[in-house]
Amino acid sequence: MSRSGRDPGERLKTGKGRTQSSVRWLSRQINDPYVKQAKAEGWRSRAAFKLSELDEKFGLLRGAQRVVDLGIAPGGWSQVVRKKAPQARVVGIDLLPTEPIDGVTIFEMDFMADEAPAALEGALDGPPDLVLSDMAANTVGHKQTDHLRTMGLVETAVDFAVNTLAPGGAFVAKVFAGGTDTELLQILKKNFRTVKHAKPPASRKDSSEWYVIAQGFKGRAEPKAAEGADDNGDDS
């Protein structure tokens, strides 16, 4: 096998009706060493290596007890969680159908739906200590529009994390070239002790995807009691 991971003489058989973009995608898949390794090792997608590499660098799964996988399909990230943190309760959600994974509760529903957050929390029986998001909006071919659509998903994921995470918890989300928007970055820095961007080796070099890693959730501020709430009305 060549250093690129391509078998000598391997060629892509194309058929009539395929667009040039689909031909390029198929060719890239066939000759991608991460895709081949994923198949050989039983991972559902090459994305499994991205989470493994992020975990090696940031220790995301060390001691994890409750994990939420947003955009779980086809399930590669949850597979990694189950292998590296077998003690953790894992719940995932995606609009796309996902084959069952042992030890993982899966909801086939829209994360943007009003009832989604409660469903995820209820399945964990406690606050998560890690929220993962590999969600990305379906592309329409317009770079700015695609970026805005995906960042809308990231914003919703951040809101979910800030409202559910246990103190000390972590949040990981896919973003794109340019990193996290300024306003969103400020929210993360306000709520987490460290916020960094990383591009794992398994992420294709020609891809604009990056990941934001926020660790050390500071916890939610307790609501202040209304003034005079402790006054029982007895002036004596």
Domains in the chain with CATH codes:
47-217 (3.40.50.150)
Amino acid at 180: T
3-state DSSP assignment of residue 78: helix
In this prediction, residue 14 carries a pLDDT of 47
In this prediction, residue 4 carries a pLDDT of 38
What is the rounded distance in angstroms from the CA atom of residue 49 to the CA atom of residue 211?
Answer: 13
Handedness of CA 21, 202, 200, 88 (dihedral sign): positive
Q: Report the pLDDT averaged over residues 165-171.
A: 98
In this prediction, residue 152 carries a pLDDT of 85
Average pLDDT, the chain: 82
In this prediction, residue 165 carries a pLDDT of 98
What is the rounded distance in angstroms from the CA atom of residue 80 to the CA atom of residue 204?
Answer: 19
Residue 175's alpha-carbon distances to 6, 22, 31, 141, 181, in angstroms, are 29, 23, 25, 17, 9
Which residues are known to be catalytic? 174
Q: Is residue 64 within 8 Å of 130, Cβ to Cβ?
A: yes
